[in-house]
Amino acid sequence: QTIHNIPVKRQENWQEVIHAMTQVIHGARGTARRLNKPGLRYKIAGKTGTAQVFSVAQDASYKEDELEEHLKDHALFMSFAPADNPKIAVAVVVENGGHGGSVAAPIAGKVIEAYLGQFSDEQLKQPAKKETIEKPYKIQPPSFNIDPDKTAALQHIGHQHG
């Protein structure tokens, strides 16, 4: 459903946006539905995306698998969790990664799992504490089956906040 000209001041409009973002992961046709694993203790809200690296004429097409690596689309995923009581927000950009739902979303999912895995069910229901919002929290960087250079970059980011 496309929604136009919604003033963001009204709470019901925010709820509609959050619901739509939750469906990206928990809906049957969501572009990041692979994050909705059995036994998941919370709902994730997110938005997948891609950013084109080069321009394509309006009526033109191209074969993605034949592109040079540096011309492939960037993969994007922005998220927060738990959707009804956020404790973490994660944005992932994978340069030349392709599609957000299949490349960037799983990375965000691992970061969210690593952080929220430390909370009990009761703690997940409590509002985020002010001090955790205002200062970075160090977590062990999750392991990924991706390019070692990209893993090193993620670990570097984790160490900056340590």
Residue range 69-116, pLDDT digits in tens = 888 899 999 999 999 999 999 999 999 999 999 999 999 999 999 999
Residue 130 has pLDDT above 80, yes or no: no
Question: What are the φ and ψ backbone dihedral angles of 47, each rounded to 5 degrees?
Answer: -140, 125
How many other CB atoms are found less than 10 A from the CB of residue 100? 27
Domain residue spans of the chain: 11-54+63-133
C-alpha 3/C-alpha 21 separation (Å) is: 13
* pLDDT at position 31: 96
pTM: 0.72
Helix (H, G, I), strand (E, B) or coil at 148: helix
**Nearest-angstrom CA–CA distance, 100 and 104:** 5
Beta strand segments in 2-105, E: 45-51, 74-81, 88-94
Higher pLDDT, 76 or 62: 76
CA dist., res. 35 & res. 42, Å (int): 11
Domain 11-54+63-133 class in CATH: alpha beta
Q: Which pLDDT value is given to residue 133?
A: 55
Banded model confidence at residue 127, pLDDT cuts 50, 70, 90: confident
